[in-house]
Amino acid sequence: MSVQSLEIFLKEKKEVIDKQLPLYIEKMKAPTSLKEAMLYSVYAGGKRLRPILLLAAMQAFRKDDEAGLPVACAVEMVHTYSLIHDDLPCMDDDDLRRGKPTNHKMFGEAMAVLAGDALLTNSFGIIANINHPFVTSEMKVELIKGLSDAAGAEGMVGGQVADMEGEEKNLQLQELEYIHQHKTGNMIRYSVIAGAVLAQATKEQLQHLEVFADHLGLAFQIQDDILDIEGDEAVIGKPVGSDENNQKSTYPKLLTLDGAKKKLNYHIAAAKEALLKTGIDTTRLEEITNYMVTRNH
């Protein structure tokens, strides 16, 4: 049982990530301009939810999370690359992210493409380079395979393509879930599983944690859609109802607002049920689940 409050845990872990992440880039022997562009988006980071999930998963196994830090940073680098490429004019064409100019607005499109490419490429090297007594080569291979699956054609990139192609369509619930599971869900699942792999979880524990993370990922997205309708514009930072205006398929649109809330509660309950089956100290992961699905921004 953890005595540290969730708030302090989140703050501390975020600080650890915020401190470590730029170090990988700063020490690279690469053109200054490229490093600047990479660092810009890495510094512009948000809540660092994925790396925090990874570190929380390790702690649930009562493992010191030091060995998880490189993988946590790699996950955040992959997340950052995906945001840079998503913001490009040929993709979502966004000028602002978290209130700051997007990467291509700052450094030009060519540099934004390349900064994203480098963040993605080097994230694999960071995992391969882990130098820690209990991280074996077998673990590294498993972690790299998992990251490639979660981020590649069968994961995040596939979800992004499906999202792009579904933009102007009225999606079925199944299609909407495919998009969310792949575009955001797979990297959330990877974060949890990577922590568990590092903590030498059993095969059975890994299966329960996969179920947990998949429900968490969907709950997170449904909450996002509900927030878009109910949220306070000033708090979430984008016009409330923007999804509705741009014809985007959402859970409330497909299920009604009440139906979406029921589905949200179903996924939260299923996530927690799966957690219970792992036999580990899941207090923190439960707290993070509550935090992620009741956030107001």
Binding residues for a second copy, per CB under 8 A? 25, 28-31, 33-35, 38, 85, 88, 90-91, 108-111, 113-114, 116-118, 120-122, 124-129, 136-138, 140-142, 144-145, 147-149, 151-154, 157-158, 160-162, 164-165
CB of 250 to a second copy, least distance (A): 20
CB of 254 to a second copy, least distance (A): 20
- Between the CA of residue 288 and those of 60, 117, 256, 276, what are the distances in Å? 12, 31, 27, 15
Q: How far apart are CA 37 and CA 245, in angstroms?
A: 33
Angle, in degrees to the nearest 10, between helices 251-276 and 173-180? 60
**Residue 165 vs 168, nearer CB to a second copy:** 165
Evaluate whether 99 touches 115 at the Cβ level (below 8 Å): no
CB of 36 to a second copy, least distance (A): 11
Token pair of 12 as six digits: 């501390």
Token pair of 164 as six digits: 């792009």
- Report which residue type is found at 5: S
**Residue 153 vs 276, nearer CB to a second copy:** 153
CB of 149 to a second copy, least distance (A): 6
Q: How far apart are CA 134 and CA 200, in angstroms?
A: 10
CB of 45 to a second copy, least distance (A): 18
**Residue 182 vs 263, nearer CB to a second copy:** 182
Q: How far apart are CA 113 and CA 291, in angstroms?
A: 33
CB of 167 to a second copy, least distance (A): 11
**Residue 129 vs 256, nearer CB to a second copy:** 129
**Residue 82 vs 205, nearer CB to a second copy:** 82
- Between the CA of residue 209 and those of 5, 14, 30, 37, 156, what are the distances in Å? 23, 22, 38, 35, 19
CB of 285 to a second copy, least distance (A): 27
**Residue 136 vs 265, nearer CB to a second copy:** 136
Evaluate whether 282 touches 289 at the Cβ level (below 8 Å): no
**Residue 28 vs 235, nearer CB to a second copy:** 28
- Between the CA of residue 106 and those of 40, 88, 101, 111, what are the distances in Å? 9, 12, 6, 9
